[in-house]
Structure 1
Amino acid sequence: MRQRFNESLDPWERSTLFLYLNRHGYNGLCRYNKKGIYNVPFGRYKAPYFPEKEMHHFHEKAQRATFMIADFRETFAQTRRGDVIYCDPPYAPLSATSDFTAYDGQAFTYHAQVELAQQAYEKSQAGIDIVISNHATAEMLALYRKSHLEVFNVQRTISCQGDRRKKVHELLAYFPSTLPTFRRA
């Protein structure tokens, strides 16, 4: 199935195979190598969970949304007042050995993180609400100091050794639109 997914050019087939691979792959991991090949090993599940109800609910709620897989600069250039944007960039590394920011062969550098935070602030001044998630490292907390910040713990389940799976701090940075909102009487 993994080979078929990697070779397929059909979006429908790739979508359905991705769901299968994600539910049956090791710990729900999604990983591609530098050649763009999906390479997650098979997991060991007696009864893989398939989130059918959640997917139907998401489908219903997503009807008014536009999803983009694009550089944030391209996405931000298409925005207009009243838009709400959620950015999920490659997270800042928690250590020197956990830098997984080059998923597509183009590293998402610290400079890109700085630019994202700056542009998010600027767009909020133009009437666009922006929410960004990331690790809550000292550097990221400093970058998002102009936002409304929420920090919370998230359980990681990727480590092959269960006793090494731990909670990490993540952040949600909310840049609210600073322009007045007009309400109907």
Structure 2
Amino acid sequence: MAEGRSFIKWAGGKTRYAAQLVAAAPAYTGRYWEPFMGSAAVFFELRPAKAVLSDANPELVACFQAVAADPEAVMARLDAMPNTPEEFALVRRQDPGALDDIGRAARVIYLNKTAFRGLWRVNRRGGFNVPYGAYDRPYYRRETLLEASNALACADVRLCDFADALREAAAGDWVFLDPPYLPEGGFADFKRYTAGQFRDADHERLAAQMREASDRGVLLTMTNSDTDATRSIYAGFTMTRMATRRDINLRAAARASSDLVVTNY
């Protein structure tokens, strides 16, 4: 089996901890679900036989669908996009709805690799508003993108709310949840991946859906910030701490931290 790796970097993504999370996975017998897809790092590490990946970010979902369907076309489109401030400004202003599927995917990967710190942040109108990062690095590695496309052949990639995924998950399935974290303050308070924001009420809604799924025999793992609010909202689940590092934080001393890993097993 080839080494699992995502083709994009996503703020809050679990690339660095994917192997650790997979090693602690429950002995599930059904499908694997990842309702907050992001970079899908845990999916690529796990390489399940059957999976449902979903997200509320339509551009991210369109990108994964296009990479799954035609990675060669995505790479060819990226090859035609120079890494310059002028091109970045042009691509950032594009209306994704006016692009074809390959163009939408290339735009996501291009902005992910050239925007400051690889952030995906949008305003309330859905406009991408991260500045140019001036990074001298490739947009993709051919082997990684092709292997990602191969891995995605087993996956159903959907645009949907997390609640829809949790309602459909069945007994014996494993659902890994990596929602926008409850705020710790400062740079940790980051939730503008879509035009709508993920608020405390959404965490309450997520906790309720998790409890319903758990009652049906669905196996659940969630990562979140280690705060009193997290422990209160998700009370009743098993909670352990996982040492982490916050590279999005500009102050080196503030990068060391820990997450909560919340499970029902």
* TM-score, normalised relative to structure 1: 0.75
Q: Please give the residue correspondences for 1:95-110 in structure 2 after superposition, counting only pairs within 5 Å.
A: 95=185, 99-101=189-191, 103-110=193-200
- 171, 180, 191: which one aligns with 1:81: 171
Q: Residues 150 and 68 (structure 1 numbering): CA distance in 2 closer, same or farther, change over 3 Å?
A: farther
Q: Residues 92 and 21 (structure 1 numbering): CA distance in 2 closer, same or farther, change over 3 Å?
A: same
Higher relative contact order (Cα pairs below 8 Å, separated by 6+ residues): 2
Tell me if 1:27 matches 2:117: yes
Give the Cα–Cα distance (whole angstroms) in 2 for the partners of residues 49 and 102 of structure 1.
23
Give the structure 1 partner of residue 60 of structure 2.
none
Write the letter of the residue equivalent to 1:67: V
Give the structure 2 partner of residue 183 of structure 1.
none
Write the letter of the residue equivalent to 1:168: S
Give the structure 1 partner of residue 107 of structure 2.
17
* TM-score, normalised relative to structure 2: 0.56
Alignment identity in percent? 26
Tell me if 1:171 matches 2:265: no
Q: Residues 167 and 50 (structure 1 numbering): CA distance in 2 closer, same or farther, change over 3 Å?
A: farther
Q: Structure 2 unaligned segments of length 5 or more: list them.
A: 1-90
Give the Cα–Cα distance (whole angstroms) in 1 for the partners of residues 245 and 141 of structure 2.
19
Tell me if 1:130 matches 2:220: yes
Deviation, 1:52, is 4.3
Matched residue of 2:166: which SS? helix
- 37, 51, 60: which one aligns with 2:150: 60
Write the letter of the residue equivalent to 1:173: V
Per mean C-alpha deviation after superposition, the further-off stretch among 162-171 and 66-75 is: 162-171
Matched residue of 1:66: which SS? strand
Give the structure 1 partner of residue 16 of structure 2.
none
- Alpha carbons 2:113, 2:139 under 8 Å: kept: yes
Q: More helix per residue: 1 or 2?
A: 2
Q: Deviations over 1:121-156 (max 9, x none)?
A: 221221212222221212213333433434223322
Per mean C-alpha deviation after superposition, the further-off stretch among 45-54 and 12-21 is: 45-54
Deviation, 1:34, is 1.2
Q: Deviations over 1:41-84 (max 9, x none)?
A: 11132334735444444433333333333222222222223332
Q: Report how many aligned residue pairs link the two structures.
A: 175
Give the Cα–Cα distance (whole angstroms) in 1 for the partners of residues 211 and 138 of structure 2.
41
